[in-house]
Amino acid sequence: MRPRGEELESVQKMYWAGADYVLSLATVSGRMIASTILEDEDVLSLDQQVEVVRTIAPELVGRTLGDADVRSKTDCTVVGVERNGTVITDVGPAFRVEASDELVIAGTDDGIRRFTEQMT
């Protein structure tokens, strides 16, 4: 039995009802978007979870994302930055991180752990 969950609240109910596996529309959509961001990562595999988290990164302050080489060092992608109450999504390699920035990063569980260890 493999029902589809339109709402995240429905997922647990479907498991309780006896489903072996539930496809949450939000989870599948998020993983498809992440697969575009993360290029070669297999984000739709069942043993990997992709997270999108907001964090500070003191080790990046004053540096550009390109110079910091975040992607190759951590397997995470910076997908946005909140700066002074505004979310910036145009964050290419020339984007310079400021002290007050909160970064929005996407990556696997291991990638998020590496980012946290190296950049925060």
One domain for residues 27 and 2: yes
One domain for residues 113 and 99: yes
One domain for residues 46 and 64: yes
One domain for residues 30 and 84: no
> What number is the average pLDDT over the span 82-95?
88
State the Cα–Cα distance between residues 79 and 85, nearest whole angstrom.
16
Report the share of the chain in percent with pLDDT over 70: 65
One domain for residues 10 and 25: yes
**Which residues have CB under 8 Å from 34's CB, separation 6+?**
41, 43, 50, 52, 106
Count of domains observed in the chain = 2
Beta strands 77-83 and 86-88, pairing class? antiparallel
Contact indicator for 31, 13 with CB cutoff of 8 Å: no
pTM: 0.61
State the Cα–Cα distance between residues 9 and 11, nearest whole angstrom.
6
One domain for residues 21 and 51: no
pLDDT in tens, 12-61: 677 777 776 666 655 666 666 666 655 555 544 545 677 788 899 999 99
Beta strands 23-24 and 4-5, pairing class? parallel
One domain for residues 70 and 101: yes
Tell me the pLDDT band of 90, cut-offs 50, 70 and 90: confident
One domain for residues 22 and 56: no
State the Cα–Cα distance between residues 40 and 71, nearest whole angstrom.
12
pLDDT for residue 85: 87
One domain for residues 52 and 104: yes
One domain for residues 61 and 31: no
Instruction: Give the residue numbers spanning the domain of 68.
Output: 42-119
One domain for residues 70 and 92: yes
